[in-house]
Amino acid sequence: MNNVTSPQLNPELQRLIEARHHDPFALLGRHPQDKKVVVRAHFPYAEEVVLVEANQPLERIPNTDLFEWHGKPSQVPERYQLRWRDSNGNESTAHDPYCFPPQIADFDLYLFGEGKHWHAYRFLGAHPHVADGVSGVLFGVWAPNAERVSVVGNFNRWDGRCHPMRGRGASGIWELFIPSLCAGDLYKFELRNRNSGVVFLKADPYGQHFEMRPSTSTIVPKADTYVWGDSEWLEKRKNFDWLHQPLSVYEVHLGSWRRGWEGEFINYRELAHQLVDYVKDMGFTHIELLPITEHPFDGSWGYQTIGYYAPTSRFGTPDDFRYFMDYCHQQDIGVILDWVPAHFPKDAHGLARFDGEPLYEHADSRKGEHLDWGTLIFNYGRYEVKNFLLSSALYWLEEFHIDGLRVDAVASMLYLDYSRKEWVPNQYGGRENLEAIDFLRELNTVVHSEHHGAMVIAEESTSWPQVTRPTYLGGLGFSLKWNMGWMNDTLRYIAQNPIHRKYHHDLLTFSMLYCFTENFMLPFSHDEVVHGKGSMLYKMPGDEWQRFANLRLLYTYMFTHPGKKLLFMGTEFGQGTEWNEASSLDWYVLEYSFHQGMQLLVKDLNRLYCNSPALYHFEFEWQGFQWIDCHDAEQSIISYIRKQDDDFLVVIVNFTPVPRHGYRIGVPREGRYTEVLNSDSHYYGGSGVGNGDVELIAEERPWMDNPYSICVTVPPLSGIVLKPELLPQPESVAASAEEEIAPEEAVAVVEVVPAATTPVAVKDTPDPVIAEEESKPAAA
């Protein structure tokens, strides 16, 4: 029946049937009236409503869909049931939602309002819930500018009149417990703005499961009953000294790493086995996932997030993702999640003007919008918004056992004038976003205090000081920072024709002037192979052989340079085409020898890196690095030592296609030196020039400020790594030395990569056009 205005109808009831009332519990449910009780219910589609316990019908208020029953208190319990029948004869029975008291604790509301509730996801959103022995779903949402909020879904014909929510006063939170609902039901929130009266239909900001795009409904999650098997990993992680351990990260976009036979997405569970097997074989220690937080547009790669608490449904359910994480940990692979607290999209069903007013974003577009990206900026000064983001961070760490967060676009958060002509200065007249800075410091403090061993990594592209220094020393508190300066300088250098590289030598050496000011990660990420930048392979100059040689040289330089490592998928085998998120990687290229060699080199670089404390123990401290020669610009060669106490490796990299025979370098120790890696090996598709069969004995001839020196052959467009061995000594000398040297001082043995005997065929191709590398915002 359609409700109509009646002059005799109570104005409060009129507001209720028009879906404008802010407090439906004041009218609906069980209420004392004189010495009796009245039970009132609103059923827009009911022909008949019956009070089950009294087995008596409720009377319809004329010209409305309101029903009332009057009787003795003893005839109806406090938690009663109603049975109703619609015009099609369908009957339903359930407890009345409006006979239950508030379910969200006042203490939760207080902490939320103070910005100190780090687990707001536990009471906001939709949760299977039991109230007074009755099962159902408890809904909660923050919407302080709403006049009325309703839960709508496939259980009430998406009609906002059916289930209006209870407002919890000044907190701005609305809640409703609906009995008989269960996991899998679809829902949204319908909100009416108190000023304009405009009605909005929104997905749940705290939703934990969403429909597959293009559908936009939130799904009631099932209770978390997943049985984890990664306790050993989590216990080990608590004491994970990542500062002094190898960290080699494989960056992955799950939607395009691999796809099914018909181009379909692969489930999290199947991806777990395929991806982990590959990553372990390649020698990486961690996987970094481009955002799998739910997002409506594939082309955003996940960086324009709608569901900050929901693994995307593209690859399965939340439990499927739990299985993915569990399997990774049981196979000793860590997982880092790209997480985006910098901005969010304007999609109508998302956070934008959530209750009809700027809520999660700033009202002033000069502070609240990224014009370049078409997204909105979080209002970090609002406690409830900080709660939303902090709770999201902890949610992934706690509910899915994520090992770290890589925070996207930190630079855009730190500066009020980031990529904009019009901006509003802070209270001191500066360009620093003080509220965002406070948020980032609190984020890092909370994560590191609550989850020992978890990492928080900043994608920060400016020279902001102390990004990875503790907050109590004035830093931002991140664990690691992407070294965007090193990445850009190195790619600018390697793109030069080798004959011109001597004029750009400072691009190679400059990084060591600031290398130990932060805890740096060296990234060749997805950002370098999109937006017309081409693939990593086709950034390299020269013919086909030279491109592969340059790329092998680049990776050898990267893995021996101080800093943790990150490679984007496909770059490890030299994919030739630019990355496309809509299709699988070009795995077929591994049928060709050059690509096989590239993949094998990365595997061996990971093996060398992970087995050599000299390469990883002091990646953030000057004790781990020493120049041998940084001045040989004329021959475009640099040489350096990576070391850990008495253990060290010698690295020589040649950025020209000219082999250098009899190249003398200084070394700190006498003895024999063995070539343990040569990127020009036949195994990798190189020319096979090197020192594999040569006995390199250090002479007592001072050179380059070192007491000893050796002559080596430096292959073209390649890097070589040498490891020292002590020369054999007479038995009497060896015996006495054995007594003096403690076991822990013995030098670790690094497996030698053997040289191939058969050269690989090379085919010339035209020189590529090398585009100038520019930093672009990573917020597609």
Encoded tokens for 713: 């052959």
Q: Are 200 and 191 in contact (CB under 8 A)?
A: yes
List beta partners, residue 629: 639
List beta partners, residue 60: 67
C-alpha 41/C-alpha 38 separation (Å) is: 10
Q: Count Cβ atoms within 10 A of the Cβ of residue 508 and give its class: 0-12 exposed, 13-18 middle, 19 or more buried.
A: buried
DSSP codes joined into one string, 530-591? STT---SGGGS-SSHHHHHHHHHHHHHHHHHSSSEEEEETTGGGT--SPP-TTS---GGGGG
C-alpha 533/C-alpha 491 separation (Å) is: 11
Q: Which of 361, 408, 527, 528 is catalytic?
A: 408
Q: Are 462 and 411 in contact (CB under 8 A)?
A: yes
Whether residue 680 lies in the annotated active site: no
Encoded tokens for 442: 């609190």
Encoded tokens for 100: 């239950």
Element (H, E) at 445: helix 434-450
List beta partners, residue 248: 565
Question: In whole angstroms, how large is the CA radius of gyration of the chain?
Answer: 32
Q: Are 675 and 721 in contact (CB under 8 A)?
A: yes
Element (H, E) at 643: strand 637-644
Q: Which of 326, 459, 528, 680 is catalytic?
A: 459
For 102-121, give one letter per residue: b (16+ CB within 10 A) or e. ebbeeebbebbbebebbbbb
C-alpha 296/C-alpha 24 separation (Å) is: 33
Q: Count Cβ atoms within 10 A of the Cβ of residue 421 and give its class: 0-12 exposed, 13-18 middle, 19 or more buried.
A: exposed
Sequence-ordered alpha helix ranges (H) in 583-653: 593-610, 613-616
Tell which residue, 332, 302, 253, 241, has the closest CA to residue 564: 241
C-alpha 47/C-alpha 86 separation (Å) is: 5
C-alpha 289/C-alpha 300 separation (Å) is: 14
Q: Are 694 and 713 in contact (CB under 8 A)?
A: yes
Whether residue 459 lies in the annotated active site: yes
C-alpha 625/C-alpha 511 separation (Å) is: 12
C-alpha 240/C-alpha 223 separation (Å) is: 31
End-to-end CA distance of the chain: give it in Å, rounded. 48
- For 371, phi then psi, to 5°, come to -65, -35
Active-site residues: which are they?
Answer: 408, 459
